[in-house]
């Protein structure tokens, strides 16, 4: 980067830092009415603490017309908005390759080979990030590198000749190639985002091609405390079940490996001991896997290759600006069912260098919320500095404990602390990184209602945080019921202050305020931002939330995102389990009386969940991913033919700010 670019970035970051922090504070300055002790009873208690009354539309910060509930098989957006779908599964990433379709010479699920899938968009888009091209461009730049996860394959939807329980070698290998991460250039032409197969890094003829795939067979580097552990010996190949993720101010993409247990078989043959216990805790299958990949690949057979099970469950870093940089698995951030890896930078006052903080949820009933604080510092005056690419290799991993009185602690998962609370339970720091759930159990972390996305509003250029963190707990049908973790060592099904509802069908969002607004702090205050559900339901009905927000009902918040004004947006996964409406995107705003107003902005097509909500830096486009259209219901999204997961770009027809 030239000095001019660095200086320009610094100036922009300073100005936007002030502005953004102010915006977020204005939006979120309400103080928790569901804090701590007695949160269960707080639905009643809240009545005396806040002022009710529905403000008029004129008070709303968002000017769009709320979208009605619908089960239509399309993307429904407010009047004055339009959507475009692009980069569906199977589209060619490179110029000259055959089109997707069912005509002569075209590629489809019936003739798709591994070699073809390796050159095409993968299946079931989840996390989405956009990287300005070239790096550091102004917010309005038309060239963007889109990077998005592929969470999992659905072979019965992908292949017309698939037989459950008896896949062909080609099916399995195409599935491996359809997992991972897709990197593709997109460009705003007029008012439409289009796929640009020819885009090069830097948007100049000299740059490397942007288009690239990272798949279930890509070779990885491993770093951090466990990199030399015997359980990670040999090649580390592939990334699987990449769910949500994050992105860094140095221009890299973070991808979180979530439900990786489903790819492995025959855990029953692993000798009794810590490895077998760990596999049980993570839900590895004892017999044949549903996918049967072990039929063709011994590495997915845990009896034959127990170590392979330790090579997944990590946060992965990919550099979209440098295809020669091998992707990395960061063991320092722990191994569990990572939903996300959200990054903020904690700058000491008036400083340009700060520690990097990564938040992550472990999406399982009764699992934990984590954060990782780097040892090294990020230098915002030189974003692409070489040293930044090893920042995530060393630091301190913490797990959250939510006290009933509205305070909380970040408990360090260090060998010193573990030796204090559970002497002998862990060999060394590497062992903690590999068996992170057990470490969370040992220190007494708070089991949550499936923590999905964790989002911390931050400046879009410097990533300076505000000290606020939001956790989407998607739902927990076992809360108040039977234990979930099959070791029986930790699980209690009881409700608690941070998870206040039994049979929590609709989920909730927890807000953390780090002490001193410092993301490296080891203590925090917390409150419940909202309980999802139906604010108009009869009191006492399942999903009754009339005391925590008003506006549009919804269930199962999964991914959350902030727009550039500091408003929190929510996408759902499982709303149809609660209400007759497809999964959706909603905007939250804080009205004058301190209550949250929820407005439905978008409803997805039949059978799909909505993932990867993201605003362009100039806030004129809302992006999201449509995952598994047609799951459980017929769909022809996006193009009126077979259902294909795809990316969606939503814009105002007048090109204005989305949501205004």
The residues binding ligand FEO (CB under 6 A) are 151, 243, 258, 339, 363, 452
Q: How far is the CB of 13 from Ca ion (least distance, A)?
A: 30
Q: Based on CB atoms, which residue is closest to ligand FEO, 260 or 463?
A: 260
Q: Note the residue count of the chain.
A: 660
Residue with tokens 């605003």: 615
State which residue, 151 or 563, has the beta carbon closest to ligand FEO. 151
- Tokens 């897709």 locate to 182
Q: Which does 203 bind (CB under 5 to 8 A by kind): Ca ion, ligand FEO, none?
A: none
* Cβ proximity to ligand FEO, 73 vs 151, nearer residue: 151
Q: How is 465-502 classified by DSSP, letter by letter? A: B-SEEEEEE--BTTTTSS--STT-SS-----BTTB--T
Phi, psi of 524 (to 5 degrees): -155, 165
Number of residues that bind Ca ion (CB under 5 A): 5
Cβ contact 21:459 at 8 Å: yes
d(CA 567, CA 500): 25
Strand 508-514 to strand 468-473: parallel, antiparallel, or no bridges (unpaired)?
antiparallel
Would you give the binding string for Ca ion spanning residues 150-169, x where CB under 5 A is met?
Answer: -x------------------
Nearest CB to Ca ion, comparing residues 383 and 605: 605
Give the span between the Cα atoms of 408 and 396, in whole angstroms: 17
CB 634, min distance to Ca ion, A: 20
- Give the per-residue contact string, 100-139, with Ca ion (x = CB under 5 A; - = no): ----------------------------------------
Per the omega criterion (within 30 degrees of 0), is the bond before 430 cis?
A: no
Contacts to Ca ion from residues 243-262, by CB under 5 A: 243
Given ligand FEO, Ca ion, none, residue 257, with its beta carbon under 5 to 8 Å by kind, binds none
Q: Given the complex with Ca ion, which of 452 and 459 has the nearer CB atom?
A: 452
Closest to ligand FEO by CB, 42 or 611: 611
Give the nearest distance from C-beta 166 to ligand FEO in angstroms. 27
What angle do the packed helices 436-443 and 274-281 form, to 10 degrees?
Answer: 90
Q: Please identify, using beta-carbon distances, which residue of 118 and 360 lies nearer to ligand FEO.
A: 360
258 binds, among ligand FEO, Ca ion, none (CB under 5 to 8 A by kind): ligand FEO
Minimum CB distance to ligand FEO, residue 475 (Å): 11
Site for Ca ion in 365-424 (CB under 5 A): none
Contact 144, 617 (CB under 8 A): no
| Smallest separation (angstroms) from ligand FEO to the CB of 451 | 9
Q: Which does 367 bind (CB under 5 to 8 A by kind): ligand FEO, Ca ion, none?
A: none
How far apart are the C-alpha atoms of 265 and 252, rounded to whole Å? Answer: 33
SS3 category, 118 = coil
Provide the 8-state DSSP code for 92: B
Choice between 474 and 621, CB closer to ligand FEO: 474
510 binds, among ligand FEO, Ca ion, none (CB under 5 to 8 A by kind): none
Interface segment toward Ca ion; rule CB under 5 A; list 267-275, 428-436, 570-578, 614-622: 570-578
CB-wise, 266 or 342, nearer to ligand FEO? 342
Q: Which of 338, 340, 178 is nearest to 258 (CA)?
A: 338
552 binds Ca ion (CB under 5 A): no
**Least Cβ distance, residue 436 to ligand FEO (angstroms):** 16
User: Does residue 638 have a cis peptide bond before it, meaning omega lies within 30 degrees of 0?
Assistant: yes
Q: Give min distance, CB of 258 to ligand FEO, in A.
A: 5
Q: Cβ 546 to Ca ion, closest distance in Å?
A: 25
Residue nearer to ligand FEO on the CB measure, 301 or 339: 339
To Ca ion, the closest distance from the beta carbon of 474 in angstroms equals 5
d(CA 628, CA 178): 14
| Closer residue to ligand FEO, CB minimum distance, 229 or 363 | 363
Q: Which residue number, 199 or 509, has a Cβ lying nearer to ligand FEO?
A: 509
Q: Which DSSP letter does residue 66 get? A: P
Choose the contact partner of 364 out of Ca ion, ligand FEO, none; CB within 5 to 8 A by kind: none
Shorter beta-carbon distance to ligand FEO: residue 374 or 625: 625
Q: Are 83 and 650 in contact (CB under 8 A)?
A: yes
Q: Which of 528, 499, 500 is nearest to 513 (CA)?
A: 528
Cβ neighbourhood burial of 618 (10 Å; 0-12, 13-18, 19+) = middle
List helix spans (H) across 268-382: 274-281
Binding map of Ca ion across residues 202-241, x = CB under 5 A, - = no contact: ----------------------------------------
Site string for Ca ion, 445-464 (x = CB under 5 A): -------x------------
CB of 179 vs ligand FEO, minimal distance in Å: 13
Smallest distance, Å, CB 128 to Ca ion?
12
What beta strand segments (E) does 321-467 contain?
Answer: 328-330, 342-346, 353-361, 365-367, 369-379, 395-402, 407-412, 448-449, 451-455
Radius of gyration of the chain (CA): 23
| Per-residue three-class SS string for 543-606 | CECCCCEEECCECCEEEEEECCCCCEEEEECCHHHCCCCCCEEEEEEECCCCCEEEEEEEECCC
Minimum gap (Å) between residue 239 Cβ and ligand FEO: 14
91 or 558: CB nearest Ca ion:
558
Q: Supply the minimum distance, in Å, between the C-beta of residue 340 and ligand FEO.
A: 9
The single residue listed with the structure tokens 């885009």 is: 199
Strands 596-603 and 584-590: antiparallel
- Least distance (Å) from ligand FEO to the CB of residue 330? 19
Residue closest to 589 by CA, chosen among 657, 527, 513, 659: 659
- The torsion defined by the Cα of 537, 540, 541 and 547, in degrees rounded to 10, comes to 40
Question: HSE of 240 in the Cβ direction (CA atoms, 13 Å)?
Answer: 23
When asked if residue 558 is in the footprint of Ca ion (CB under 5 A), the reply is yes
Contact between residue 433 and residue 225 where contact means Cβ atoms under 8 Å apart: yes
CB of 27 vs Ca ion, minimal distance in Å: 24
With contact defined as beta carbons under 8 Å apart, do 311 and 335 qualify?
no
- In this chain, which of 17, 203, 573, 642 binds Ca ion, going by CB under 5 A? 573
d(CA 456, CA 259): 23
Taking the least distance from each CB to ligand FEO, the nearer of 260 and 347 is 260
Q: What is the DSSP letter of 348?
A: P
583 lines the binding site for Ca ion (CB under 5 A): no
Q: Which residues are near Ca ion by CB under 5 A?
A: 151, 243, 452, 558, 573
């Amino acid at each position: 980067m030239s000095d001019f670019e660095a200086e320009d970035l610094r100036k922009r970051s300073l100005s936007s830092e002030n502005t953004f922090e102010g915006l977020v504070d204005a939006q979120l300055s309400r103080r928790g009415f569901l804090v701590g002790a007695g949160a269960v009873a707080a639905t009643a208690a809240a009545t005396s603490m806040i002022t009710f009354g529905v403000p008029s539309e004129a008070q709303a910060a968002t000017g769009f017309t709320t979208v009605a509930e619908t089960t239509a098989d399309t993307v429904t957006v407010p009047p004055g908005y339009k959507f475009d779908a692009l980069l569906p599964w199977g589209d060619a990433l490179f110029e000259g390759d055959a089109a997707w379709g069912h005509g002569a010479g075209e590629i489809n699920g019936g003739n798709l080979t591994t070699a073809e899938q390796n050159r095409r968009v993968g299946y079931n888009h989840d996390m989405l990030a956009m990287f300005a091209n070239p790096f550091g461009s102004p917010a309005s730049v038309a060239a963007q590198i889109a990077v998005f996860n592929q969470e999992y394959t659905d072979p019965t939807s992908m292949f017309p000749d698939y037989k459950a329980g008896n896949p062909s070698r080609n099916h399995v290998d195409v599935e491996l190639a359809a997992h991972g991460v897709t990197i593709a250039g997109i460009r705003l032409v007029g008012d439409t985002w289009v796929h640009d197969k020819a885009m090069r890094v830097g948007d100049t003829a000299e740059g490397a091609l942007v288009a690239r795939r990272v798949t279930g067979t890509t070779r990885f580097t491993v770093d951090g405390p466990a990199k030399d552990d015997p359980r990670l010996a040999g090649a580390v190949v592939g990334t699987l079940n990449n769910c949500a993720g994050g992105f860094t101010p140095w221009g890299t993409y973070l991808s979180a490996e979530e439900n990786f247990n489903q790819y492995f078989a025959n855990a029953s043959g692993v000798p009794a001991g810590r490895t077998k216990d760990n596999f049980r805790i993570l839900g590895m299958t004892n017999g044949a896997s549903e996918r049967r990949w072990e039929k063709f690949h011994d590495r997915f057979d845990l009896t034959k290759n127990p170590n392979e099970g330790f090579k997944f469950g990590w946060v992965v870093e990919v550099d979209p600006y440098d295809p020669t940089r091998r992707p990395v698995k960061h063991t320092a951030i722990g191994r569990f069912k990572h939903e996300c890896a959200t990054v903020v930078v904690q700058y000491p006052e008036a400083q340009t260098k700060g520690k990097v903080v990564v938040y992550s949820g472990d999406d399982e009933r009764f699992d934990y919320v984590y954060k990782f604080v780097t040892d090294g510092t990020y230098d915002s005056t030189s974003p692409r500095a070489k040293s930044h690419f090893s920042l995530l290799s060393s630091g301190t991993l913490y797990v959250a404990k939510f006290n009933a009185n509205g305070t909380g602690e970040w408990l360090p998962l260090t060998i010193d602390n573990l030796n204090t609370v559970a002497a002998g339970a862990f060999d060394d720091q590497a062992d903690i990184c590999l068996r992170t759930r057990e470490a969370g159990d040992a220190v007494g972390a708070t089991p949550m209602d499936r923590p999905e996305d964790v989002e911390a509003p931050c400046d879009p250029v410097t990533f300076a945080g505000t000290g606020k963190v939001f956790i989407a707990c998607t739902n927990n049908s076992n809360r108040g019921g039977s234990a979930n973790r099959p070791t029986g060592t930790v699980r209690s099904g009881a409700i608690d202050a941070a998870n206040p509802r039994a049979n929590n069908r609709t989920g909730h969002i927890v807000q953390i305020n780090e002490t001193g607004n410092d993301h490296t702090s080891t203590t925090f205050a917390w409150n419940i931002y909202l309980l999802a559900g139906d604010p108009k339901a009869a009191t006492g009905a399942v999903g009754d939330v009339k005391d925590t927000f008003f506006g549009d009902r919804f269930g199962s918040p999964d991914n959350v995102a902030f727009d550039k004004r500091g408003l929190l947006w929510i996408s759902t996964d499982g709303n149809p389990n609660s209400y007759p409406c497809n999964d959706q995107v909603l905007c939250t705003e804080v009205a004058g009386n301190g209550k949250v107003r929820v407005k439905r902005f978008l409803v997805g097509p039949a059978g799909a969940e909505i993932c990867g909500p993201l605003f362009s830096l100039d806030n004129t486009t809302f992006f999201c991913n449509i995952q598994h259209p047609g799951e459980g219901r017929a769909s022809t999204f996006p193009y009126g033919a077979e259902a294909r997961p795809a990316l969606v770009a939503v814009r105002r027809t007048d090109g204005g700010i989305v949501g205004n």
